[in-house]
Amino acid sequence: MNIDIQAVPPAQRGHCPKELGFGGIFSDHMFSQSYDDGQWHSATIKAFHHLSLHPAAAVLHYSQEIFEGLKAYRRPDGGINLFRPRQNIQRFNRSATRMVMPPVDEQLHLEAIKELVKLDQQWVPKEPGASYYLRPAMIATTPKLGLGAASSYLHFIIGGPVGPYFTTGFDPVSVYVSDQNRRAVKGGVGEAKTGGNYAASLLVGEAVAAKGYNQVLWLDAIEGRYIEEVGAMNICFAFKDGRIKTPALSGSILAGVTRDSILQLAPTLGYEVEEAKLDIDEVLGQIASGEITEVFGCGTAAVISPVGKLCYKEREYVVNNNTAGPVAKQLYDTLTAIQYGRSEDPFGWIEVVS
């Protein structure tokens, strides 16, 4: 299927502002295609616009929707890099399968991303630490109030320039461990990138934000004992003997692209990595004893974010004197150097937008 490109005239296009937050600024164009009668059709890139939905659209009543997040990075030579876009597309289709939605053609999806970035390349920022965030999504559009999978869908991709996810940059964030509420359960949709997972986190997230914490760390829903992930990212623990541990994928944890990148990158820097079941009490004991020297989150939005404090059952545990540690810093510097094209990519992760 070809993409019909209806470009906004250059004189009517916007520009990338100097002041950037995260996720509130959008560029000139968007991609969309529709699914009806068992096939995708009408693949188009045109001016960014609002959507029109029937009030009974299935997405509004039964939450049949998925999304992704990936970034484009400005290179020192002015070119633009995409970081592991194929992994995001594959995860998009895994989420679609779990939510009983039609998969998209992976090559068309990638072509749409590249064409969108080319058209809106003036929106890809040059400032250090800034990037262009892409948000592919799919929603069920069939007007129906009876429970069941929809038959019509809209697949779209939007994007815009972003600064660091946390306004404090690489400074450590504080994390509250939820000991009562749960985000997802094994066998559910926790490993799918669907909005309900994130809506389930808002109640606790808003409550702990009022207490001064940046994020929530979720435990498993069966025993309330094993560490899963933070609301906006996966989580890793660095030990004084050079090991890095992260919770093993359980069916209720998102398979993060940045997480997978760290699992591949860290051994090349001399660290031993392990995916394991991590007991919250054991981990906090190892933080208190100094065996765990660093804690950091990892995800597309934040890249790598050091954790300076964990609070569990109203007791705080300070990590590395609430400062960013050398392991997180080395991983961050090495990974972002690859993403921005400042160093060679030995893994084949980068796709250059010509």
CB 66 within 8 A of CB 92: yes
In a domain, 352, yes or no: no
Range of the domain at 135: 4-162
CB 331 within 8 A of CB 274: no
- Residue 153 shares a structural domain with residue 249: no
User: Torsions phi, psi of 164, nearest 5?
Assistant: -60, 145
How confident is the model at residue 294, as a pLDDT? 96
Q: Of 222, 155, 145, 156, nearest to 190 (Cα)? A: 222
What CATH number did the domain enclosing 51 receive?
Answer: 3.30.470.10
In a domain, 235, yes or no: yes
Q: Record the tokens describing residue 253, joined without a space.
A: 């944890």
In a domain, 344, yes or no: no
- Residue 235 shares a structural domain with residue 142: no
Domain boundary among 131, 162, 193: 162
How confident is the model at residue 1, as a pLDDT? 72
CA distance 217 to 230: 4
In a domain, 167, yes or no: no
How confident is the model at residue 185, as a pLDDT? 87
In a domain, 21, yes or no: yes
Q: Of 50, 67, 44, nearest to 136 (Cα)? A: 67
DSSP letter, residue 90: H
pLDDT digits (tens, 9 = 90+) for 72-96: 999 999 999 999 999 999 999 999 9
In a domain, 342, yes or no: no
Strands (E), the chain: 4-5, 29-36, 39-47, 65-67, 70-74, 80-83, 131-140, 153-162, 173-177, 215-219, 227-230, 234-239, 243-247, 272-276, 292-299, 303-312, 315-318, 350-353
Which pTM was predicted?
A: 0.94
Q: Count the domains in the chain.
A: 2
How confident is the model at residue 100, as a pLDDT? 97
How confident is the model at residue 171, as a pLDDT? 86
Question: Among all chains, which residue has been given the structure tokens 């592919």?
Answer: 136
- Residue 133 shares a structural domain with residue 201: no
For the chain of 354 residues, list the mean pLDDT of each consecutive stretch of 10.
Answer: 92 90 94 97 97 97 97 96 97 97 98 97 93 98 95 98 84 92 87 90 91 93 93 92 94 92 97 96 96 95 92 94 94 97 96 90
In a domain, 168, yes or no: no
Non-local CB neighbours of 126 within 8 Å, separated by 6+ positions: 74
- Residue 49 shares a structural domain with residue 148: yes
Q: In this structure, is the dihedral angle defined by the CA atoms of residues 260, 113, 56 and 204, taken in order, positive or negative?
A: positive
Beta bridge partners of 138: 66, 155
CA distance 332 to 128: 13
How confident is the model at residue 183, as a pLDDT? 87
- Residue 197 shares a structural domain with residue 312: yes
